[in-house]
Amino acid sequence: MTQGEPETTVTTVTTTLSDSVTEEIGAALAAVDAELERRYPGDPGTRQPVHTVYVPGDAVTAGTVRAWGDQALALLDEHAPDAAALAAVLGLDPQLAGPVYDRVRAKLTREPVEDLRIDFEDGYGNRPDTEEDAAAARAARLVARASADGDPARVPPFLGIRLKCMEAPVRARGIRTLDIFLTHLMDAGELPAGLVLTLPKVTYAEQVTAMVRLCEQFERAKGLAPGRIGFELQIETSQSILGPDGRATVARMIEAAEGRATGLHYGTFDYSACCGVSAAHQSPDHPAADHAKAVMQVAAAGTGVRLSDGSTNVLPVGPTAQVHSAWRLHHDLVRRSLARAYYQGWDMHPGHLPTRYAAVYAFYREGYAAAAARLAAYARHAEGDVMDEPATAKALSGYLLRGLDCGALAVDEVADATGLTRADLEGYASPRRGALTVAAP
């Protein structure tokens, strides 16, 4: 045989271990296999909003979403009336500036808010019971009407409330608000598909268990399918990251949610204050914030629970120079979060919407061509200057899917660049939920 020529001679393969050994090992690990599937099912493969906007329960109206979009557009008209102006403020690549700017304006017109939380916690405060009762019922009516409307220019795809926490002074009030809200929603028809509930200031896993029991009781009372009601956990205390026993408490909280946890949201200001960070330095990029979010990220990895970064309280208001300064800060913080795989954050003002979407769209558009080429080569088993593995294909397809979901990328351009359908991308992004491999087109 010539050197370098592949060997084709068939030889007899022998083994030492019997099939019974493999079967014995399989039986011994069956419980572990089931536990792995239960605890780490992988990403749900559904759309994740790029942000959450929260509005106090007494301030939200049927026109809130449209009003936020209109105010954001007005700020652009006044302080960055064209692509070149916005690029100069944010330092955008000139070649990206036009496509990004056009998409930002289109987004603010078509779907200005992706996730709206009607707030009954810090943004609402403590009110007389009769007042909060009425506000909770009103919020349910707004959500029910909005869900029936379905116009993304007025109704975000994700919508719900943030109730008061499970700490003793406000526990009963939070439970009552949740009950009123859900009851009135059910009276109006059914729970909306995009319903989101946020439980703030979680400190102990037992508080999460209490929220699970509430959901179970409501589901039984209303004849809902078990597990229909999920909720987010807002991580705002040091005790939610590191417990008194030295263990990562947030991991125990995910387990305590019994599959109902949908997200972990970092609370910038409460967590910073808990750690003693002075007000002037409370920001999503503080080292204390980075530590907390790193623990959250590792605890949530593979569980299907998604991460959201916090917010900045520096608002783009006042003269142009001040607006531009606030825009640069917000844009850079969003970019920083995206690079660290926090694909969602909180926005506190309509003026944050232009820079939220500008940062998100630039992030996906600037890396789109390279990601599409690498995934296409992987699908064709082609060689290139990067040797990608299935895990990288998963990351590449997830990146493209998030870009599609938020409007940064168009279906046709992704299909043309990759030769793959959305179903193909989803197969790569969530291999345990579909095929392990996707046939090349």
Query: Are both 296 and 159 inside the same structural domain?
Result: yes
CATH for 235:
3.20.20.360
Predicted local confidence at residue 434, as pLDDT: 42
Query: Are both 399 and 416 inside the same structural domain?
Result: yes
Predicted local confidence at residue 268, as pLDDT: 96
Predicted local confidence at residue 264, as pLDDT: 98
Q: Count the domains in the chain.
A: 2
Judge whether 327 lies within some domain: yes
Query: Are both 354 and 379 inside the same structural domain?
Result: no
**Domain span including residue 113:** 51-367
Query: Are both 326 and 376 inside the same structural domain?
Result: no
Query: Are both 153 and 243 inside the same structural domain?
Result: yes
Residue after which a domain boundary falls, among 319, 349, 367 = 367
Query: Are both 233 and 260 inside the same structural domain?
Result: yes
Q: How far apart are CA 108 and CA 237, in angstroms?
A: 34
Judge whether 103 lies within some domain: yes
Judge whether 6 lies within some domain: no
Query: Are both 422 and 338 inside the same structural domain?
Result: no
Tens place of pLDDT for every residue, the chain, 441 residues? 455 555 566 678 899 999 999 999 999 999 999 999 999 999 998 999 999 999 999 999 999 999 999 999 999 999 999 999 999 999 999 999 999 999 999 999 999 999 999 999 999 999 999 999 999 999 999 999 988 888 888 899 999 999 999 999 999 999 999 999 999 999 998 999 999 999 999 999 999 999 999 999 999 999 999 999 999 999 999 999 999 999 999 999 999 999 999 999 999 999 999 999 999 999 999 999 999 999 999 999 999 999 999 999 999 999 999 999 999 999 999 999 999 999 999 999 999 999 999 999 999 999 999 999 999 989 887 655 556 688 889 999 999 999 999 999 999 999 999 999 999 999 988 765 443 333 322
Q: pTM for the whole thing?
A: 0.91
Buried residues in 40-72 as b, exposed as e (16+ CB within 10 A): eebbeeeebbbbbbbbebbebeeebbbebbebb
Query: Are both 335 and 407 inside the same structural domain?
Result: no
Query: Are both 321 and 408 inside the same structural domain?
Result: no
Query: Are both 391 and 345 inside the same structural domain?
Result: no
